[in-house]
Amino acid sequence: MPELLSSDQAGSYPIRIAGNALTLHAGIVAASCCRGRRAVVVTDENVAALYYQSLRQTLEAAGFEVASAVIRPGEASKTMATALLLYEAFATAGLSREDLVIALGGGVVGDLAGFAAATYLRGIPLMQVPTTLLAQVDSSIGGKNGVDLPYGKNLVGTVYQPQAVVIDPLVLRSLNRRRFSEGLAEIIKTGLISDAELFRQIEQKTYDLEWVIDRCVRIKAGIVARDEQDHGERMLLNFGHTIGHAIELVTGFSKYAHGEAVAIGMMAAIAVGEKIGCTPAGIRERTVAVLETNGLPLRAPELKAEDLLGAVKADKKKRSDRINFVLLRELGVGFVQPMPLTEFNQVFQEVWPNV
């Protein structure tokens, strides 16, 4: 598969999508990312057991001195305390601003490694090697990173683009069904907001996985190139995430995986869109069917509307007394609707939990 280029304000960087890219291409790509030859691989315990040695070998073959920083898996690790541990690992490895940080893992690892690379020594080159479907189609692209605080998700972070992204679809074979479905939630989101054909391919189960990854990467890279700092079009990528992040926060980041919370958030957004008259009939039924087919939840009736609305107040997309909420105008066409918080609260309470 050809190499893609993602553009940002500072230039562009390559995105390589290919089977066995982790073992065949990662070292070569890493060598093109920096002038130094020290690298720290940030990963988690699960991914390290599967892929760290293979990545280390290809990096050493390219001339790197390699160290690792291994964190505990899961959203609970996405904290300032863990970021401090990464800084310690960078210092111990003797990283300079000419060396390299490599994120090997899913969204949590990518967020943490990106945040630490962006802030240590005011910026160290970063390469993303995503190992989950969610990270390959979404979180490794676009430069957003951050850590959670007790009162909200991703409240501390930066927009810091990697020097390269290496995507190996073959590593997805190690994912269990739940983690694979979690990534499909982000793919379904992409189809709903910007690509009806992508949605239909998932709906009809006629898709080729590499085609889907390539399509999602191209869509997100294009949006980021046009709106890197998230002031306009990039907000569309938050479809389902306002309520999804609230669900994760209220449940202590333990009951629902990120993609599962986003799936429920998408259903809530569709219900809000129907309630205010902008989302046409038929989208709900098709979305329900595709989410159910792929093992994703539709609602969380055990959660109270007022608790979720309290969490929404801490969301990054809130602006003073209004919120930028992403809705659907038709299948494949999303738009950002600024809503006064009082109006949003009323509508949400009317549709929850029977979204």
Q: How far apart are CA 274 and CA 208, in angstroms?
A: 32
- HEC secondary structure over 173-225: HHCCHHHHHHHHHHHHHHHHHHCHHHHHHHHHCCCCHHHHHHHHHHHHHHHHH
pLDDT at site 314: 75
Pair of tokens at residue 125? 């080159």
Beta bridge partners of 128: 103, 165
pLDDT of 319 strictly over 90: no
- Cα distances (angstroms) measured from residue 292 to each of 119, 266, 277, 299: 41, 13, 25, 11
pLDDT of 167 strictly over 80: yes
3-class state of residue 143 by DSSP: coil
**Of 9-18, 38-47, 269-278, 286-295, which range is least confident?**
9-18
pLDDT at site 42: 98
Average pLDDT value for the chain: 94
Beta bridge partners of 164: 127
pLDDT of 117 strictly over 70: yes
Residue 5: band (very low, low, confident or very high) from pLDDT cuts 50, 70, 90: low
Residue 231: band (very low, low, confident or very high) from pLDDT cuts 50, 70, 90: confident
Residue 318 region by backbone torsions, left for phi larger than 0, else alpha for psi between -120 and 50, else beta: beta
pLDDT of 7 strictly over 70: no
Per-residue pLDDT tens for 242-275? 999 999 999 999 999 999 999 999 999 999 999 9
pLDDT at site 1: 43
Residue 317: band (very low, low, confident or very high) from pLDDT cuts 50, 70, 90: low
CA-based max dimension of the chain: 60
**Of 8-12, 50-54, 81-85, 122-126, which range is least confident?**
8-12
Mean pLDDT of 79-86: 98
Mean pLDDT of 215-228: 93
Residue 321: band (very low, low, confident or very high) from pLDDT cuts 50, 70, 90: confident
pTM recorded for the entire structure: 0.94
pLDDT of 9 strictly over 70: no
pLDDT of 38 strictly over 80: yes
pLDDT at site 151: 85
pLDDT of 3 strictly over 90: no
**Of 66-70, 190-194, 322-326, which range is least confident?**
322-326
